[in-house]
């Protein structure tokens, strides 16, 4: 999946939580209005990139319900768990 | 020697004193079987506690009896907490009961209190140890029975809040003697799954005995040691199990646990959208401010009508031009009157007038006026215009002007 142009490598590695925290920071800085026009535009760009990343994170989890087997093993196996298995 | 005889009353008081001063007898637990149970209309309870060889009379006053959490019955094995004293009227010692529990349950409660105290002292339940739950967990672990409503409820709630949530079930026994070990193994296994960010451990509601596995010491320690934040969900609104104290977050029910562990996708998306909206608004305002600044500056005359100066100059120019034309026209009008005068002056200046005064005009062979003597050679033909008539001449000699 191609990386959006606005994202720096540092941004792309952020978790949803970190990105949202930074996004809210960016919003506050923009709202304070005490930045130069140039900085404001740069901040806006960063914010857009962060918002995009947040959206990615929300969508990238895969809907799954798995069950663990061999739980004594170092790395337990997983198999799909069907709702019907729960009586 | 005759001994001093005590009154019965004095004797009784003396015995009472002895009993009341004894450390053990003023606060003790007694285990026995209930018999001769009588609930008085007054609300006081009278019964006997006995074992194979002995018995003791008991009374539980109404205020204490009100806090009983079970119904005492003949033949029941109980634990009674209270003090020994003498009932003077009968000359009997009695157990005055403040608290009473069924023996089996009582033991459990005792164990619970003791374990709670022990682990609490070790700091296992400290608020500082509690970890916050991740805002967006990659995977959510469920340690619970694979059958039963608790699991179904958790899956339903989780998928409702976040449709593409990734759940991992670590099945375990949730009651019975094997349950604690089973729960510990499942918890450790699910925490090892890569990407596991939060675990829910729990079961649906039940009696104290059914929930008892969640008061196990090893399970509490495993929860405290878990590398991933743990939410306990032991289906009891008011009672806390030891696992509840050890967990990072306690939920009253499995469904509530799923609400805590799994975020609402719609809410999170909304938060991002709102942030975007606020940003756009802030930037718009910022740009508007800049635009206003520019507009204000642009209003200054220097910028609004930069041609002003030029136009002003041009206007002056036009003005002067007009006046000049007027002057000229006026001059012309004025001139007409002096025409005769002018004519006379012109006449005076006319070359013909000049001739009349005796001057001559020399023309060369081409008809051009000769002004410079050196422009002709000796022998050249030169015509001379006089006031009256002309002469055809030939140059004899040329003398340049003195410089």
Contact between residue B158 and residue B258 where contact means Cβ atoms under 8 Å apart:
yes
Name the closest residue on chain B to residue A35, using Cα atoms: B286
Q: Running DSSP on this structure, what letter comes out for residue B195? A: T
Q: Is the pLDDT of residue B335 over 80?
A: no
Looking at residue B129, its pLDDT comes to 95
Residue B343 has pLDDT above 70, yes or no: no
Q: What is the mean pLDDT of residues B20-29?
A: 94
Contact A20 B135 (CB under 8 A): yes
The answer to whether the CB atoms of A27 and B148 lie below 8 A apart is: no
Q: What is the pLDDT of residue B331?
A: 66
- Distance (Å) from the C-alpha of residue A1 to the closest C-alpha of chain B? 19
Q: Is the pLDDT confidence value at B295 over 70?
A: yes
Residue A1 has pLDDT above 50, yes or no: no
Q: Do A83 and B163 touch (CB under 8 A)?
A: no
Residue B133 touches chain A, beta carbons under 8 Å: no
Q: Give the residue from chain B lying closest to A83, CA to CA.
A: B152
Quick check: A87 pLDDT over 50? no
Q: Residue B346 above 80 pLDDT?
A: no
Segment A3-28 mean pLDDT: 78
Q: What is the pLDDT of residues A28-70, one digit of tens each?
A: 999 997 888 889 999 999 999 999 999 999 999 889 999 999 8
- Report pLDDT for A3: 46
Q: Is it the case that residue A6 has pLDDT exceeding 90?
A: no
**In this model, does residue A2 exceed pLDDT 50?**
no
| A17/B272 Cβ within 8 A | no
Cross-strand bridge partners of residue B32: B78
Closest partner residue to B272 among A20, A40, A86, by Cβ? A20
Q: Give the tens place of pLDDT for each residue, B351-397.
A: 666 677 788 888 888 888 888 999 999 999 998 988 888 899 999 99
DSSP state of A7: -
Residue B5 has pLDDT above 50, yes or no: yes
Contacts of A85 in chain B (CB under 8 A): 146
Mean pLDDT for the stretch of residues B287-291: 85
Q: Is the pLDDT of residue B257 over 90?
A: yes
Q: Which residues of A10-33 are buried (b: 16+ CB within 10 A; e: fewer)?
A: ebeebbbbebbebbbebbebbeee
Alpha-carbon gap: B196 to the closest alpha carbon of chain A (Å): 12
Half-sphere exposure of B359 (CA within 13 A, CB side): 11
pLDDT tens digits for B219-238? 999 999 999 999 999 987 77
Residue in B with minimal Cα distance to A54:
B272
Q: Decide if B269 and A55 are in contact by the 8 Å CB cutoff.
A: yes
Q: Do B275 and A63 touch (CB under 8 A)?
A: no
B316/B171 Cα distance (integer angstroms): 100
CA distance B66 to B39: 12
Q: Partners of B181 in the beta sheet?
A: none
- Tell me the mean pLDDT in the region B1-21: 90
Mean pLDDT, rounded, for B302-321:
77
pLDDT of residue B150: 95
- Give the minimum alpha-carbon distance from B117 to chain A in angstroms, rounded to a whole number: 31
The whole-angstrom distance between residue B86's C-alpha and the CA centroid of its chain comes to 68
Out of B136, B152, B283, closest to residue A86 by CB: B152
Please indicate whether residue B294 or residue B34 has the higher confidence score (pLDDT): B34
Average pLDDT over residues B78-85: 94
What is the predicted pLDDT for the residue at A5? 47
Closest CA to B209 of B324, B319, B107, B332: B107
Dist. CA B340–CA B400, nearest whole Å: 40
Q: Does B147 touch chain A (CB under 8 A)?
A: yes
Highest-scoring range by mean pLDDT, B80-89, B105-114, B332-341:
B80-89
Q: Nearest chain B residue to A87 by CA: give it.
A: B147
Which residues between 237 and 266 in chain B have a beta carbon less than 8 angstroms from any beta carbon of chain A?
265
CB contact under 8 A, A48 and B275: no
Per DSSP, which regions of B145-182 are E strands? 166-171
Residue B138: its pLDDT value, please? Answer: 93
Identify the pLDDT of residue B188: 96
The answer to whether the Cβ–Cβ distance between A47 and B159 falls below 8 Å is: no
In the prediction, which pLDDT does B219 show?
97
Does the pTM surpass 0.90? The reply is no
Distance in Å, alpha carbon of A6 to nearest chain B alpha carbon: 15
**pLDDT band (50, 70, 90) for residue B22:** very high
- The pLDDT value given to residue B236: 77
> Is B165 in contact with A63 (Cβ distance < 8 A)?
yes
Chain B residues touching A27 at Cβ < 8 A = 275, 278-279, 282
DSSP B321-351: HHHHHHHHHHHHHHHHHTHHHHHHHHHHHSH
ipTM rounded to 2 decimals? 0.83
Better-predicted residue by pLDDT, B232 or B328? B232
């Amino acid at each position: 999946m191609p990386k959006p142009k606005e994202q720096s490598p540092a941004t792309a590695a952020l978790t949803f939580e970190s990105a949202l925290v930074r996004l809210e920071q960016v919003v506050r800085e923009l709202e304070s209005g005490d930045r130069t026009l140039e900085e404001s535009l740069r901040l806006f760009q960063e914010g857009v990139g962060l918002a995009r990343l947040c959206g990615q994170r929300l969508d990238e989890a895969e809907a799954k319900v798995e069950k663990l087997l061999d739980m004594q093993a170092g790395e337990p196996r997983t198999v799909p768990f069907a709702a019907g298995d729960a009586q | 020697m005759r001994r001093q005889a005590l009154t019965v009353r004095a004797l009784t008081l003396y015995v009472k004193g002895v009993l009341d001063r004894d450390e053990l007898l003023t606060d003790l637990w007694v285990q026995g079987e209930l018999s001769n149970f009588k609930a008085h209309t007054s609300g006081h309870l009278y019964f006997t506690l006995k074992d194979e060889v002995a018995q003791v009379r008991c009374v539980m006053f109404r205020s204490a009896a009100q806090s009983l959490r079970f119904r005492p019955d003949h033949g029941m094995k109980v634990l009674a907490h209270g003090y020994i004293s003498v009932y003077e009227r009968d000359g009997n010692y009695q157990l005055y009961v403040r608290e009473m529990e069924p023996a089996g349950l009582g033991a459990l409660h005792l164990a619970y209190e003791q374990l709670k105290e022990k682990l609490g002292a070790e700091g296992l339940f400290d608020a500082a140890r509690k970890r916050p739950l991740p805002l967006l967990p990659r995977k959510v672990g469920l340690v619970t029975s694979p059958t039963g409503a608790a699991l179904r409820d958790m899956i339903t709630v989780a998928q409702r809040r976040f449709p593409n949530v990734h759940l991992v079930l670590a099945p375990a026994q949730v009651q019975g003697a094997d349950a604690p070990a089973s729960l510990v193994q499942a918890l450790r296994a699910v925490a090892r799954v890569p990407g596991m960010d939060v675990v829910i451990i729990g079961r649906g509601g039940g009696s104290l005995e059914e929930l008892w596995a969640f008061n196990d010491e090893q399970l509490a320690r495993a929860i405290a040691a878990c590398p991933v934040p743990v939410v306990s969900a032991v289906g009891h609104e008011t009672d806390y199990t030891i696992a509840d104290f050890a967990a990072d977050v306690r939920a009253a029910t499995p469904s509530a646990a799923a609400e805590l562990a799994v975020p609402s996708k719609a809410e999170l998306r909304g938060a991002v959208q709102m942030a975007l909206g606020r940003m756009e608004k802030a930037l718009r305002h910022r740009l508007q401010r800049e635009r206003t600044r520019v507009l204000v500056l642009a209003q200054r005359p220097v910028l609004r009508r930069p041609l002003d100066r030029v136009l002003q100059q041009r206007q002056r120019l036009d003005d002067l031009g007009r006046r000049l034309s007027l002057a000229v026209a006026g001059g012309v009008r004025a001139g007409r009157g002096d025409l005769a005068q002018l004519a006379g002056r012109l006449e005076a200046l006319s070359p013909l007038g000049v001739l009349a005064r005796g001057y001559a005009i020399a023309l060369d062979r081409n008809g051009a006026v000769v002004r410079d003597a050196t422009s002709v050679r000796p022998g050249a033909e030169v015509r001379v215009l006089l006031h009256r008539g002309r002469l055809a001449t030939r140059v004899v000699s040329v003398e340049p002007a003195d410089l």
